[in-house]
Structures are given as structure tokens and as C-alpha cells.
Structure 1
Amino acid sequence: MIDNYFDNEEFIKIDFTTTQIKKGEYDQCRFLNCNFEGIHASNIQFVECEFIDCNFSNTIVKDTAFKDVIFEKCKIIGVKFNEVDPFLLQFQFTDCQLNLSSFYQLKIPNTPFVKCNLEEVDFAETILANALFDQSDLKNAIFDRTNLEKTDFRSATNFTINPKENNLKGAKFSRNNIDGLLIDFGVLLE
């Protein structure tokens, strides 16, 4: 049963820390410059929604559905995406701060991360096949038993990935960033 249904609506400059977000389904809605910081956004359905210039830091998203959702210029620090509803999970991130967030054990193939800061993000045991890390900073991001098959790292920076511990078949790297694959072996490129 859906509590509320919102279709093709715009939410502009709403501070959900003072105005409670209504539980329900949001279909093709746009959230512009909204603040979700630290709120419980659990059990909400976001379908084909856009979040632009929003603050999602430390937001609780347990059993929240993100189906074909776009995050652009958002601050999304410390979010446990590993707790979301995995059914039809699909999102893309452009120019977002995702530091300290977790995608642990999620199946998110084909996910684009464009111009994102992904410091200390947990991608352990995540299926990221065909993902794109375009001009994104992966400093101290965790890749452990991660499926990175055919993932594009050509313009990514600061990553450390152990080829023995992760599936890298068909993954793309540039000559400029290949050292991130050798650090665990004590090899230094100059």
C-alpha cells in the first residue's frame, strides 16, 4: 500500500530536516536544492527522479527504492546505500560528493560516476560490471572481491585495486593511472 503518490512534481529548496518528507512513491519528480541531511528517508520509492544540488549526507535510506534516479551536484556523505531496496536499483551520479558512503554487496552494473569524489567509499563485494568512473577521485575506496569487469577507470584517480582480489576482466585503465593496480605488490612506477 502506498501512502502518498507524487507524479511529475518539483520540490524546490525544501528543508526536510524541518518539514517531514511524506512516505510514498515519487514518480518523475525533481528535487532542487533540498536538504535531506540525517533524516529517515526509509521505505520511500523514487522512480525516475532527479536530485540536483541536494544534501543527502548521513540520510537513512533503509529499504528506499532508487529506480533510474539521477544525482547531480549533490552532497551524499556517509550514506549506506547497501541498505536500500535492491529491486530495479539504478542510479547515476554526476559531480557528487560521496565520501564515506557504502555500496557493499550491491548489484549496480552500468552505474556512471562522473566527476565524483568517492574517498573511502566501500565497494566491497559490489557488482560494478560496466561501470564508469569518469574523472572521479577514488582515494582510499575499498575494492575487495568486487566485480569490475569491463569497468572504465581511464580518467579515474587515486584508486588502489588488487588485481588478485577483484574481477578486472576487460576493465579499462590509462597508462597514467595503472600504478593503482600495482601498489599492493610494492611496485612503484616513475
Structure 2
Amino acid sequence: MVKGFKIDKPKLPHELPEVGFTIKENGYYDYCIYRDCVITRDDTDRIAFDQVIFDRVTFEGTDFTNIELTDCVFDHCDLSNIDFSKGSIHRVEFKNSKMIGVMMPDSSLGNVVFDNCQLNLSAFGYSKLKQVRFTECTIKNSDFYECKFQKVALDTCDIEEANFANTKLTGVDLTTCKFDRLQVSPESMQGCIVSTEQAIGFARLLGLEIKDE
């Protein structure tokens, strides 16, 4: 049963130095706070953040493919349309952040929390999500095609028209989520937890005719 699983929080020291963002040739950034600034990808092959807090930071430049995020917190940040494809994202919290159109396909996410984030039109296709929680997020028209879910929670989220085709939702509880339509395959729904009203909607989505008694 997925409900109630534990997510490891980012491992951060009690105090971190606040610094201005400057491009490093090796693409490795660690042990600091970035606040009220803009971060743009340079031409380095690798970019990694380890034990970093981002406070009201805007990411620009779109291409952050192969990014490594470990023990990081994003608070009130703007990551709209940023490409985190093939990223490694572990023990990371995204809080109150704008992430419309963010791209994380072919990525590995472990012990990740999305809390009160705007994730409409986001892309997670072919990614592995293990111990990941979405809480009070808008995830409309987002793509989770052929993902691997292991201990994933969707708590009080708007998931209208999200695509879960070929993604097994076994143990995922959707009863607190808002939606009228989803893109799903019959295999996706096996073991998924839904309300009675939602179950009727899924039956119609799968082509069944509901006869009133």
C-alpha cells in the first residue's frame, strides 16, 4: 500500500552561506544559498547542485539536460519551460514554485516532494519516480507516459487531462484529486484507488456504458 510512505528530506546543514551565482567551469555547485537571482546554463557538459537552497531563483536558458540535483530545496522559484531531461533528482523539495512546462523525461526522481507547485503541461515521460509526493499541485495536461511509479502519492492535486498511459498506478490514491478526464490505458488503472464517482468516470473513459437502475 502506497499511502503513508516516508520520504527522506534533503540533507542540509543548519546554516549555509548565501552567495551570488557565478559560472564555474566544472559545472559543480555546492553548499550554499542562492537568493533572488537568475541562473542560466553555460556550455559545460555537466551541471550539478549538491546541498543548495534556491530562494526566489529564476532558471533561464531552457537547457539543463543531464542535471544532477542532490539535497536541494527550491522555494518560490520559477523553472517554467526548463529542460531537466535525463536528470538525476534525489532528496529534493520543490515548494511554491512555478514549473509550467518543465521537462523531466527519461529522469530518475527519488525522495522528491512537489508542494503547492504549478506543473501544468509538464513532461515526465519514461521517468522513474520512487518515493515522490505531489501535494496541492496543479498538474493539468501533464505527461506521465510509460513512467515507472514506486511509492508515488498525488494528494489534493488537479490532474485534469494528465496522461498516465502505460504507467501502472498500482496503490496510487486519486480520491483527493480533481479531474474530469484523464488519458489512461486499462492496464494503468489496475490497483489504483479511486472514489465511487471517479470509478464511474473511468468506466465511461474505457468505453463502458453505465445503466442507471
Same fold (TM over 0.5): yes
- SS of 1:130's partner is strand
For residues 21 and 176 of structure 1, do their structure 2 counterparts lie closer, same or farther at Cα, with a shift above 3 Å needed? farther
- SS of 1:157's partner is coil
- CA contact 2:165–2:185 (8 Å) conserved in 1: no
Shift of 1:135: 0.5
Shift of 1:116: 0.6
Matched, 1:175 2:196: yes
Determine which of 104, 107, 128 is the counterpart of 2:149.
128
The CA distance in 2 between the partners of 1:93 and 1:180, in whole Å, is 27
Stretch moving more, 61-70 or 177-186: 177-186
Shift of 1:75: 1.0
Based on CA coordinates, which of the two structures has the bigger radius of gyration?
A: 2
Alignment partner, residue 96 of structure 2: 73
The CA distance in 2 between the partners of 1:118 and 1:37, in whole Å, is 21
Alignment partner, residue 160 of structure 1: 182
The CA distance in 2 between the partners of 1:32 and 1:102, in whole Å, is 24
Alignment partner, residue 103 of structure 1: 124
Determine which of 45, 48, 52 is the counterpart of 2:68.
45
Determine which of 150, 154, 169 is the counterpart of 1:148.
169
For residues 137 and 37 of structure 1, do their structure 2 counterparts lie closer, same or farther at Cα, with a shift above 3 Å needed? farther
Any residues of structure 2 matched to 1:49-60 within 5 Å, and which?
Answer: 49-60=72-83
Structure 2 counterpart of 1:148, one-letter code: L
Shift of 1:176: 4.6
For residues 189 and 151 of structure 1, do their structure 2 counterparts lie closer, same or farther at Cα, with a shift above 3 Å needed? farther
- SS of 2:94's partner is strand
Deviations 1:114-141 (A, max 9, x none): 0010111111111224311111001110
Query: Aligned residue pairs: how many?
Result: 184
Q: Percent identity among equivalent residues?
A: 26
Deviations 1:27-77 (A, max 9, x none): 221101110144322343210101011111111223432122111111111
Q: TM-score, normalising length from structure 1?
A: 0.83
- Tell me the C-alpha RMSD between the 2 structures: 2.7
More strand by percentage: 2
Deviations 1:57-98 (A, max 9, x none): 1112234321221111111111220044x3xx3222110111
Structure 1 counterpart of 2:126, one-letter code: Q
- CA contact 1:147–1:166 (8 Å) conserved in 2: yes
- SS of 2:26's partner is coil
Consecutive unaligned residues of structure 2, counting only runs of 5 or more, are: 1-24
Stretch moving more, 37-46 or 112-121: 37-46
The CA distance in 2 between the partners of 1:118 and 1:79, in whole Å, is 11
The CA distance in 1 between the partners of 2:29 and 2:50, in whole Å, is 6
Structure 1 counterpart of 2:51, one-letter code: Q
- CA contact 1:150–1:172 (8 Å) conserved in 2: yes
Determine which of 37, 40, 55 is the counterpart of 1:32.
55
Alignment partner, residue 139 of structure 1: 160
